[in-house]
Amino acid sequence: LTGVVMIDSLLPDGYPSSSVVIVMGDPATGKTTLLIQLVVEALKKGRNVVYATLDDFPDSIRESMKLMGVNPRDYEVEGRRKLVFIDCYSFLVGVRSQEQYSEDPQRLSDLSIVMTKALSEARETTNVLLAMDSLTTLIQRSGVRPSFDFLHTLIAKVRSNRASCVTSLSRKAFHPAIIAAIQDKVDGVIEMKVEDTKDGLARFIRVSKMKGVQHITTWTPYNRDTSMGLIVPYEESRVKKPV
């Protein structure tokens, strides 16, 4: 189990180990919130985490983690480090990075080397979660074909290390053919959407693909909270049929 109740409720057989999963959704659905929530729960379970940031500074992610009840600095102590950031955002905004690992996301071969190094330095390479936020920015900055080649290499790297990877993607940012090609490459797809209602925005989530395990493909409502992450909006049990 991931420890994220909203996700675990959609995966009756549990979250598959050694998998590459895309969190795909509209703007304002909480893709980054979900990634941070998965990272927080992974750290609580004693897993190693490598977090590549392309859309915000690592310190902003640290603050979000604190709101969810985890002090990231406790996991960044030299000698028993469990959390490592790869800062790609500073390059994009022209700021000098303060992180141990930083790279220009437009230099994909160098970024691949840095990710490999960060993954290999984990004490247990089979117990690592690689989070990357976001794949959207990577493709927009580096182009579709180079990004696809990078993703192909990254997936092979994650699988060979028997690690796990989760990344985010804006499903409205690219042509449907590009989105479909990305979905084909990965093991799992978690989809998120928002709809206008008379009471405001309503958010829904589903697992449209998860290789090797049962998953709920029904659109399921959720709420978003900065201190709790994605939460079930009400207590009533919903009847779901696994696929």
- Could you report the per-residue pLDDT of 21-43, keeping only the tens digit for each? 999 999 889 999 999 999 999 99
pLDDT of residue 239: 39
Is the CB of residue 171 less than 8 Å from the CB of residue 136?
no
User: Is 75 strand, coil or helix?
Assistant: helix
What percentage of the chain carries pLDDT values higher than 90? 79
Q: How confident is the model over 57-105, as pLDDT tens digits?
A: 999 999 999 999 999 999 999 888 999 999 999 999 999 999 999 999 9
Using the predicted structure, report yes or no on whether residue 237 has a pLDDT greater than 70: no
pLDDT at 79: 81
pLDDT at 153: 95
Residue 235 reports pLDDT greater than 50 = no
Residue 226: pLDDT band (50, 70, 90) is confident
According to the 3-state scheme, what is the secondary structure of 123-152? CCHHHEEEEEECHHHHHHHHCHHHHHHHHH
Q: Which CATH architecture has domain 5-231?
A: 3-Layer(aba) Sandwich (3.40)
Query: How distant, in Å, are the alpha carbons of 99, 105, 162, 211, 231 from that of 156?
Result: 26, 19, 10, 16, 33
> Higher model confidence: residue 112 or residue 238?
112
- Give me the helix-helix angle, 144-160 and 135-142, nearest 10°: 140
Q: What average pLDDT does range 179-208 have in this prediction? A: 94
pLDDT at 164: 95
The structure's pTM equals: 0.92
Closest to 49 measured CA to CA, from 128, 116, 164, 121: 128
